[in-house]
Structure 1
C-alpha cells in the first residue's frame, strides 16, 4: 500500500519532466526482503517544484531540500539531489548545494548499502557496489571511511547498529577508520546516541553490537558506558528474549555488575526519561537482591517482591529472570508469580480494614511517618503471614508494632 502511494509520487515527478528514484534504506530492505517502514525519494526537482506538484505537503527541511509529501495519510520525504558543504560540528553540513546528477547525491551517503537508488522499473543505480556488499554481508563506508565518520560521527554508531540488525560484518578499512575516529563520537548529542543504542539492543544480534562497541572503543570518552558494554557483551545474546528496552538495559547492567547507583548514572548519562530511569534502577535493585546465576534457576519467594513493586513490575522481572535462566527452563515463571499473587488475601494498603486515621485514634498518636511504617507492617503480616484482615486484629497488631519499635 505504502509503495503504491510512493509510486504515484515518482510517476507525477516523471510526468512533469523530472527524474525520481526510491533511495536509501527502503531500497536496501527491498533487496534484502526485509520489512520497509519509511520510503524516501530523491529527485532533481527543486523543493519549489515539489511543493507546486504536491499541494498536500509539509516543508520539513527546505534548507536541505526536503519536502514531506502526504498521500492518503502517509508521509514520504522527497529530497532534491544535493551535495554538502563542510561539516563543522561532526554532525551536519554548514550548507548544501542542489545538483542535477544522482551519483553526486549518492556519494554523500554513509554506507554503500544505503547509497543505492531504484526507479519505477526496478532498475538499480548502484555506483558504489552496495548490492555486492549486501550479498557479502558487509557494512562498508562510501568512499574514504575516515571522511564519512568525520563528517557525521553518528555514523560510527549507525555502522554498529546496522551490523547488529543485519548480522553483517564491518568491512576491514571501515572498521579501522571507526577505531581511528572514535573520539569524534563525543561531539554527538546524547539523545541521538541513546536512540542508536536502543536500536542496537533491540536488534537480532545485540551481542555482536556490544562486541563491536568494545572492539572499536567508541565509548573511550564515556568510561561507564565502555565498562558496561565490555563486561556485558558475553550475556547480550539474551536480549533477543526480552521485549522492552528497559528490561534489556536492566539485564545488561546486571551482567556488567553495575549496582543501582551506577545504573542511575548510566541512565542519566544517556538522558533516559525519569520513568525509564526508575524502572531500570528498580529492576537492577531487585536483581542484585536476588543474585540470579546465569542459567541456574533458583526458587524464589514472590510474595515480598509483589508487595514491594506490584504485579506488573513483578511480571517484567520474571521475564528478565527467564532470559537470565534461558538455557534451563525448569521454572514456569509466570505461573509462580500468578500463584503467589492469588494466594495473598490483600495486595495493597488500601485493602486493609484500617486506615491511618483509625490508627491515630486507636493509638492516640499524632500523625507522622510511623503511620506509613505501621501500615506497611500490617500489609506484610496480613498478605503473607496470616494476620486476619479485621479492624480489631489489625489495631492490636499495630499497638504491638509501635511498642516494639517505639515509633
Structure 2
C-alpha cells in the first residue's frame, strides 16, 4: 500500500489547519522493516471535516470517528483522535469521545509498540516508549495491563500472536495480567478467537505462541482447545514447516493424540469450514493409522493411500509426514510418493479408456454403487498390475470381476 499516497492525505489535512499522523501497526512495521498492509491515519479533524476535505470517501465508521478516504485508487482509514468510555462485553466501548490531543488517543491503545504516531516527515511521537520496547523485543501493555485486557479480552490473544509473529517476549506485568484475566476470553466470539489463533499458527515462531497459550491458560474456556495446545506444545516448532492452516491444525491434533472424533469436535468448536474440517479429520485419522514416530522416517505404503485417497490427499499427507521427521529428513523417503506416482501408467479413474456409462451399457446392468467399485478395481489393475488401458482389455476384466462377484 502506497505510503506516498497516504502522505498526500496528511498534507491536505495539515494545509487545512489540522494535525495528522500515521498511527498504530503501520508505524510499528515501518520501524521493524516489515511489510505494511494497512496504513491508518489519525487527526484532530472531526469526521465531518474529513468528509468535506475529501469528497472521495466512504463513511465506514462514523460512530467511531472513522472515514475511509480514497486516494489514488486506495482506501485509507482516517480516524479522529478519541477516548473510549466504559467497555461492555469485554470487547467494545459503550461510547467514544472525540478529543483534540494526540496523546489522549494513544493512551487508549493496547501495546506500547502500537501506541506510536509518525508525521509525514518521519518524526515519531512516542509517549509510552514503544520504540525502546521494539528494540528490546518486548510486548508491553499501555498503562495498567489488567485494565487493557478487561477492556478488550481479545488483546490477550493479540499479545500471543504478536509474540509469535515478531518472536518477542511479553513484559512481566503484562504477562501476569494476561494470566489473571484469561477467563474473560469466554466472552469473545469463537470466530475472533480462531482468527487470532490462525494468525499465530501462520507466524514464523508458532512455538512461542503455543507456549504462551499454555502458560497463560488463555483457552481455559474451551478445555478441548486448551488441551490441544498443551499436549502438542513439545512438537509445535514443526508447524512453521507446513504450508497451510489445515496442515497445521492436523499436526497439532496428531501431536496432542487426538483421533478422528476428537479432531472433529475441535474443528466444530473452532467453526472451521466443512472443507477444512473434512481434510483435517482425514489427515488426523490417517496419521493415527500410520502412527509415525517423531524424527524416525519410515517407508509408507503409498500405493494403498493413492488408491484409497488419490494424489492430492497423498501430497498433503506427505507434507505432514515430512514435518513429523523434519529433524532427521530422508530424501529417498521424501521422494518415494513422487516416484510411485510417476511410474503409474494411469494416474486416476478419469484417465481410464472407458467410463461408468460404458460399463452399464456394455454389461447390460442398471447403474449403481457397483459402477464406482468396478472403476476403482480397473484403475488399480491398470495403475499397478499391468492391465492395458484399452476399452477391450478393460471390458474383459470388468466382465471377469462382475462374474466373480455374482458367483
TM-score bracket relative to the smaller structure: over 0.9
Q: Is the 8 A contact 2:118 2:125 kept in 1?
A: yes
Other-structure match for 2:109: 109
Residue 24 of structure 2 contacts residue 117 of structure 2 at CA under 8 Å; is this kept in 1?
yes
Q: TM-score, normalised by structure 2?
A: 0.94
What's the TM-score, normalizing by structure 1?
A: 0.94
Specify the alignment match of 1:389 in structure 2. 389
CA displacement at 1:360 relative to structure 2: 3.3
Deviation per CA, 1:147-183: give whole Å up to 9, x if none.
Answer: 1111111101001001111111111111111111111
Q: Which residue of 1 aligns with 2:304?
A: 304
Number of the residue aligned with 1:216:
216
The answer to whether residue 161 in structure 2 is matched with residue 161 in structure 1 is yes
The answer as to whether partners of 2:164 and 2:204 remain within 8 angstroms in 1 is yes
CA RMSD, Structure 1 to Structure 2 (Å): 2.0
Cα distance in 1 for partners of 2:401, 2:235 equals 45
Q: Secondary structure at the match of 1:8?
A: helix
Q: Deviations over 1:291-338 (max 9, x none)?
A: 222111112232332333333332232222222211122225664333
Distance 1:344 1:317 in 2: 19
In 2, Cα distance between equivalents of 1:390 and 1:36 = 57
Tell me the residue number matched to 1:203: 203
Whether 1:149 aligns to 2:149 is: yes
Q: CA deviation at 1:399?
A: 4.3
- Per-residue CA deviations over 1:226-270 (Å, capped at 9, x if unaligned) read 111111111111122122122211211111111222222222211
Q: Residue deviations 1:46-95, cap 9 Å, x none?
A: 01111111111111111100111121122211100001111111111111
Contact 1:344 1:383 in 2 (8 A): yes
CA distance in structure 1 between the aligned counterparts of 2:229 and 2:251, rounded to whole angstroms:
12
Moved more, 74-83 or 368-377: 368-377
Distance 1:314 1:320 in 2: 10
Alignment of 1:333-344 (within 5 A): 335-344=335-344
Preserved contact between residue 315 and residue 334 of structure 1 (Cα < 8 Å):
no
In structure 1, distance between residues paired with 2:81 and 2:333: 55
Further displaced range: 350-359 or 293-302: 350-359
Aligned residue in 2 for 1:281: 281
Q: Is the counterpart of residue 75 in structure 1 residue 79 in structure 2?
A: no
Which position in structure 2 is the counterpart of 1:44?
44
For the residues of structure 2 that align with 1:53 and 1:333, how far apart are their CA atoms? 64
1:402, 1:231 → 2: CA distance? Answer: 49
Question: Partner residue of 2:19?
Answer: 19
Please list every run of 5 or more consecutive structure 2 residues that lacks an aligned counterpart in the other structure. Answer: none
**Residue 91 (structure 1) aligned with residue 124 (structure 2):** no
Tell me the residue number matched to 1:347. Answer: 347
What does residue 66 of structure 2 align with? Answer: 66
Which SS does the other structure have where 2:68 is aligned? Answer: strand
Q: Which moved more, 1:387-396 or 1:372-381?
A: 387-396
Residues 44 and 250 (structure 1), Cα distance of their counterparts in 2 relative to 1, 3 Å cut: same
| Change beyond 3 A, Cα 1:124–1:344 | same
Deviations 1:8-51 (A, max 9, x none): 11111111110111111111112222222211111000011111
The C-alpha deviation readout for 1:332-355, integer Å capped at 9, x for no partner, is 566433322221122222322343
C-alpha separation in 2, matches of 1:332 and 1:103 = 60
Q: Map 1:372-383; keep pairs closer than 5 Å.
A: 372-383=372-383
Residues matched between the structures, number: 407
Cα deviations across residues 346-371 of structure 1 (Å, max 9, x unaligned)?
Answer: 22223223433444355554332222
Say if 1:297 and 1:331, in contact at 8 Å, map to a contact too: no
CA distance in 1, matches of 2:69, 2:48: 12
2:88 is paired with a residue of what secondary structure?
coil
Could you say what secondary structure the match of 2:310 adopts?
A: helix
Distance 1:88 1:389, change over 3 A: same
Distance 1:312 1:36, change over 3 A: same
Report 1:241-252 matches (<5 A).
241-252=241-252
